[in-house]
Structure 1
Amino acid sequence: MSDFNDEAMQSYPFADITPPLNWCLVALEEISTDVSPGFASGKHNTDGAGVPHLRPMNVDRGGQIDLNVVKSVAGSNGIELRPGDVLFNNTNSAELIGKTAAVSAREAGFAFSNHMTRIRLEFGVNSVFAARQLHLLWMTGYMKHRCTNHVNQASISSKTLAKTIPFLLPPRAEQTRIVAKLEELLSDLDAGVAELKAAQKKLAQYRQSLLKAAVEGALTAEWRAQRSAPPLPNPSPSRGEGLEPETGAILAPLPPRGGGAGGEGAHSSQLTTPTQQGHARALRSAQTPTEHALWQQLRAKRFGGFKFRRQQPLGRYIVDFVCFEQRLIVELDGGQHADQQNYDAARDAWLQAQGYRVLRFWNNAWHAQQDAVLDAVWCALHDEAPPLPNPSPARGEGLEPETGAQLLARILTERRARWEAKQLARFQQQGKVPPKGWQTKYPEPVQPDTSGLPELPQGWVWSALGESFQVEVGATPSRKESGYWDGGIPWVSSGEVRFSRITQTKETISEAGLRNSSTQINPVGSVLLGMIGEGKTRGQVAILDVEATNNQNCAAIWVSASGVPPEYVYYWLWSQYEVTRRGSSGNNQPALNKAIVERIPFPLAPLTEMRAIVQLVDCELDRADEQERAIELALKQSTAQRQNILRAAFAGQLVPQDPNDEPASVLLERIRAERAATPKPRGRKARERA
């Protein structure tokens, strides 16, 4: 029985456990005839011609051999696997060193990589028992502690594995009982894990189906049908309000008159006291469905990049939603506010005296004409007059929605106006008179190629990303100049663009770094698109929730300037992930570029419908994410349960010991005696023949 030094026992999961009397703690060289790696693949193929050549990826995290992707080589060079061998991953990232699996009859005759070590065991040592125990050492992180770290990977040599990795050896009969019990328990666990992973796969498919339905208009088909239905009864003219509470809808904000529903107008006698803060937290936790729906539109700078706070204490009062940047308060009122007008008038007078504007809507107004409410908020944020009623005699509606084509025309007009204003400012700064014909220099946006594109719902129009939005590509300031880095300007690398919202970045640059590179500060609400990468990066997208610069490997699409919800563009590009990747150029490293990104077609729906799409998709994705989190928790619990079962097995606690079993020490003595009586083969080929 071997003695192990302190380094070997550090982090060893069974260091503090006294094994049963008939067990021994040994080194692998004491119970194996050969511990050696395979050979590099060299020329290989994936069409199955030749001999299968197993690599680290062919041992999965569950300790099983995975043959879903197998490379083949011309020959095995006599270095092959046979049933009863154990395959150990000796080179990989430090986190993956030590994955181990038992070789079955299915893999007989396979070759294996030099990044894998074959352990050929002596008679009397169960290969499944050995593989399970070594794999548990990987699961617990012990192998990471024992590996040697290199520049890009780590390794455990055959010598280290054979001589210094502790191994608990029970009697031969007990090994068999332990393996049988493990197979019984782990097979049930594996079945549950398989069901969880199948559910994960279905969720991924559901997300893609949801996004496809959203950007093709199928998701909002019912919404469009409801919009074309006859209007609600006209408001009561006697009250002089948009509509009577709880009986209809409005097209513009109500006159400032009340606090929020459910106590949102409650106040404290002091400025932002702990009691008031606690009340505000309670209101946030008990949002009404109407408040929750509006908050989904306003939260996380989703609404034109403006930051809103909910249930915010202001002086003695708590307001529903406030944008401090624009000094704008938005309130949703329940019907009880019709009976508290004096209180509400005093409240609003105080808020207005502090420089706030108050927009107030009845709850039922949100339910009946949500788009009109959002339009009014949008106009207030931009200091614009709310849209005037434009009744259609044929339809009898209060407002005629802007179509996708009309929205595109407005976007193009506004883009040109911004360009002309920028040019005039530049001429003025240079002290020059604008030259004749300077407006003809305007770079016309890219128009989409609509050939082969599907038909869109009524009111939608095909555009291109470069037609609707400004597209910018960033840069990386010189790494040689330390003063260009670690400043106060967020800088996004393409690796951070991965179907997410970006609220902070791993790195920042300085003003000097910004001035001395071709990157730019992208506004909140920009959508970033990964352009380069053989892996998953190319085609992934993210939304900026902070102003940030970016590197040259991703494009920044300035969506927020158009009024189009960034989430809509984000969902469109997410749905087109595989299509976008196929649209790359280049041979050695396929990549997108600014011109390709600008030409990507994009379905522009009416603004009101895009908002509805975002809200519907957000709600469905929230539900899917909740299910995903539940599945991930269950998988983590399964992993913990697997470890507990394996720990019990290799601590001698899974099956009872039988005093009649031949002790492990006797097995070791027999192995030593047989080795002493048999000349040791010299050279690898001789060992292979033996």
Structure 2
Amino acid sequence: MEHIEPHSFELVGSGRFSEMKSAGVHFDAGDILYGRLRPYLNKVHKAASEGACSAEFIVLPFPQGVDSDFMRYLLHSRELVSYASHPDNVTGDRPRINFETLAKFKFSLPPTSEQSRIVSKIEELFSDLNKGEENLRRVQALIGRYRQSVLKAAVTGELTRDWREQQKGSIETGEQLLKRILKARRAAWEEAERAKMQAKGEKPKSDKWKERYKEPVGPDTSELPELPDGWVWATVEQLASGEPRSIQSGPFGSNLLHSEFQKTGILAIGIDNVQEGKFSPGSQNRISEPKYQELEKYTARPLDFVITVMATVGRCAVLPEDLERAIITKHVYRVSTNTDLFNPHFMMWCFLGDPAVKTQVQKETRGQTRPGINGAILKEIAIPLPPLEEQTQLVDKVQNMVEMVSRVLEQIGHGTKYSQATRQSILKAAFSGELVPQDPNDEPATELMKRIAEQKSRADAAKPPRGATRKTPASKGNKTPGKLAQARKKAGLSQAKLAQATGINQAYLSQMENGRRPITPEQGQKLAGVLGVPGEDLT
């Protein structure tokens, strides 16, 4: 199933038959493969050659007179997808549609010639849409590269090079700022310790308790790149505030079970809420008030830097200033900083755009099945620290860029949705007889249906009785497939060329060769004329 891309007809991969874990289904060139599992994914593909597929596909060979491309587009239409995805038409927890149900979908079948005109018109219009969508994807890729280059320029100081030259000697350096951050960090720790002692009714007799403070260790810069003048490397732990639990992950194990999540209550921030440079409240889990009181120490703080540390490692954001009451959950770490001395948005952009920071995260990520980092690793990650004024300049410039990129991506999204809607409008017009004009000289579709019924009747009559041994194409007495394939190869024609020359559907031609379909006298004459053999030898 994974080898066919949803909603696009595209084959994006293949495997070996011996590697298939489920039962396989044979298909011929020209057959349509329709994904029965989760039909809303609309996995439809026209086979270019013979092969085998998972039993999760329904293989649809179509008789002569029914254009397989016409049917491919029909299966792609919104009306059929809606029908196939309807709860009444699927079964199981993983919704599947079976052939019998799919076969009940009713549609108007036009004459064969009109089917071809419809397909040609659809492909002409879709080709124009494809070009537009390709341009949108190209712009999207360029925007992504532009965003990353601006981020890199910001966190490496290139973006503020001229500003820095103008301010040289007149502003505090990163090194001086780090000393103030560490001093404030210790002061915050001492204040918190005094508050704890007062709450217990204790009064310290000396300052010996201050010796319990652990000064964070600076980074090893031996493998880190050189920074611009006035910048300095600092660890995440050094930049975290001194208040309690300034670097913290959410509750693990039985402290918070998935069954305790609910739709209302206190927000629980998880991996899905932390997007690339953006806090997204979209996917929400919540907990009750009593549960929040139990887990209050995991409370998230406005302007905390948050980062995912398991599975999807390194996605990060800054929590909004107007954040509602919330806790963080496992696999998310939060870092509280002293926002008077350090801008948490700069830390976020460093994790997203600084090659040296990203390399540290990648190097320290552990685990094969569920890669991740822990708190000890996060604390030691080194990030560049510019002067506070320069941080402000950089964050403002990056924010302006991000807003511009967001507007462009929004327009690209609108363009993509418009293109998708236009495709469905084209298909709706096609299958309601409004896309191309009807030709009164076309053979009526009723005649086509009669021939299909006759072909089906002959095929049913040719089937062996239940329980009888069915002869294979190579068996004695089944000479047609070998003769037809042999004559085609002798003439130096591919199946596709022969189908084009005779006007016989390629999928049907393939089935004639392997004995799955009969050859009518009329078809035998066409084939004989092209292959240069007596018609009776092929029927």
Q: After TM superposition, is the score higher than 0.5?
A: yes
**Equivalent residue letter for 2:61:** R
Match for residue 411 of structure 2?
630
Which residue of 67, 85, 90 corresponds with 1:148? Answer: 90
Q: For residue 190 of structure 2, what is the aligned residue in structure 1?
A: 420
In the alignment, what sits opposite 1:555?
333
- Counterpart of 1:125 in structure 2 is 66
Structure 1 position 511, deviation (Å) = 4.5
Q: What amino acid sits opposite 1:540 in the alignment?
A: R
Q: Quote the residue 2:28 is aligned against.
A: 82
Please name the residue that 1:467 is paired with.
238
Deviation at 1:648, TM superposition (A): 1.0
Q: 2:37 maps to which residue? A: 91
Report the equivalent of 1:177.
117
Note if contact 1:193-1:638 (Cα within 8 Å) is conserved in structure 2.
yes
Deviation at 1:584, TM superposition (A): 1.5
CA deviation after TM superposition for structure 1 residue 196, in Å: 0.7
Normalising by structure 1, report the TM-score. Answer: 0.61
Structure 1 residue 674: Cα displacement: 2.1
Amino acid at match of 2:318: I
User: Does residue 66 of structure 1 match 2:8?
Assistant: no
Asked whether the 8 Å contact 2:24–2:55 carries over to 1, the reply is no
Quote the Cα distance in structure 2 between the aligned partners of 1:135 and 1:575: 40
- Cα deviation, residue 523, structure 1: 1.6
Q: Does 1:540 align with 2:481?
A: no
Separation in structure 2 between the aligned mates of residue 583 and residue 71 of structure 1, nearest angstrom? 34
- Could you tell me how far apart the structure 2 residues matched to 1:122 and 1:634 are? 38
**How does 1:113-512 map onto structure 2 within 5 Å?**
113-137=54-78, 141-145=82-86, 147-148=89-90, 150-151=92-93, 153-162=94-103, 164-228=104-168, 400-434=170-204, 437-469=208-240, 470-475=246-251, 477-479=255-257, 489-499=266-276, 500-502=278-280, 506-512=284-290
Code of the residue aligned with 2:120 in structure 1: it is A
Count of residues paired in the alignment: 453
**Distance change in 2, residues 1:403/1:510 (3 Å):** farther
Query: Take 1:446 and 1:95, find their aligned partners in 2: how far apart are those partners?
Result: 54
Unaligned runs of 5+ in 2: 241-245, 473-510, 517-539
Which is further off, 175-184 or 132-141? 132-141
Deviations 1:464-507 (A, max 9, x none): 1122113111126544886x967753321111111213568723
TM-score when normalising by structure 2? 0.77
Residues in 2 aligned to 1:559 and 1:113: alpha-carbon distance in whole angstroms: 53
Residues 4 and 43, structure 2, Cα contact 8 Å, conserved in 1: no
Equivalent AA in structure 2 for residue 204 of structure 1: G
Residue aligning to 2:454: 673
Distance (Å, rounded) in 1 between the aligned partners of 2:30 and 2:458: 23
Shift of 1:99: 2.8
Residue of structure 2 aligned with 1:593, choices 358, 374, 378 = 374
Of structures 1 and 2, the one scoring higher in RCO (CA 8 A, sep 6+) is 2
Where does residue 50 of structure 1 map in the other structure? none
Single out whichever of 611-620 and 133-142 deviates more from structure 2. Answer: 133-142
Quote the offset at 1:74 in angstroms.
2.8
Cα separation, partners in 2 of 1:446 and 1:166, compared to 1, 3 Å: farther
Aligned to 1:652: 433
Change in Cα spacing, 1:553 to 1:643, as seen in structure 2 (3 Å) is same
Is this contact kept in 1: 2:4–2:45, CA < 8 A?
Answer: no
Equivalents in 2 of 1:224, 1:608: separation in Å?
10
| Shift in alpha-carbon separation, 1:605–1:689, aligned structure 2, 3 A | farther
Q: Is the 8 A contact 2:80 2:105 kept in 1?
A: no
Is 1:570 the counterpart of 2:362? The answer is no
Q: Hey, what's the Cα distance between the residues in 2 that align with 1:197 and 1:596?
A: 37
> Equivalents in 1 of 2:376, 2:304: separation in Å?
18
> C-alpha offsets along residues 27-75 of structure 1, whole Å, 9 cap, x if unaligned?
xxxxxxxxxxxxxxxxxxxxxxxxxxxx24523423x2232x4444437
Q: Are the aligned partners of 1:56 and 1:89 in contact in 2 as well (CA < 8 Å)?
A: no
- Contact 2:274–2:316 (8 Å) recurs in 1: yes
- Whole-angstrom distance in 2 between the partners of 1:552 and 1:541: 14
Matched residues in 1 for 2:425 and 2:471: separation? 41
Bigger fraction of residues in strand? 1
Distance in 1, matches of 2:420 and 2:158, equals 40
Aligned to 1:640: 421
- Alignment RMSD: 2.9
5+ unaligned residues in a row in structure 1: which ranges? 1-54, 229-394
Encode CA deviations 1:382-421: one digit per residue, 9 max, x unaligned: xxxxxxxxxxxxx6xxxx4221111111111111111112
Give the AA of the match of 1:658. Answer: D
Contact 1:89 1:117 in 2 (8 A): yes
CA drift of 1:672 comes to: 1.7
Structure 2 CA distance for aligned equivalents of residues 568 and 122 of structure 1: 64
Change (3 A) 1:223 1:139: farther
CA displacement 1:636-674 (0-9 Å, x = unmatched):
111121111111111111111112212222212112212
| SS of structure 1 residue aligned to 2:202 | coil
Distance in structure 2 (CA, Å) of the matches to 1:432 and 1:504: 46
SS in 1 for 2:61: strand
Post-superposition shift, 1:595? Answer: 1.4
Q: 2-side partners of 1:489 and 1:58: how far apart? A: 41
Which AA in structure 2 matches 1:215?
A: V
Larger displacement relative to structure 2 (495-504 or 551-560): 495-504
Give the Cα–Cα distance (whole angstroms) in 2 for the partners of residues 475 and 200 of structure 1: 38
Change (3 A) 1:201 1:471: same
Residue identity matched to 1:91: L
What letter corresponds to residue 530 of structure 1 in structure 2? T
Select which of 512, 525, 538 maps to 2:303.
Answer: 525
Q: Which has the higher helix share?
A: 2
For 2:487, the equivalent position in structure 1 comes to: none
- The offset of 1:616, in angstroms, is 0.6
Q: Distance in 2 between matches of 1:167 and 1:190?
A: 27
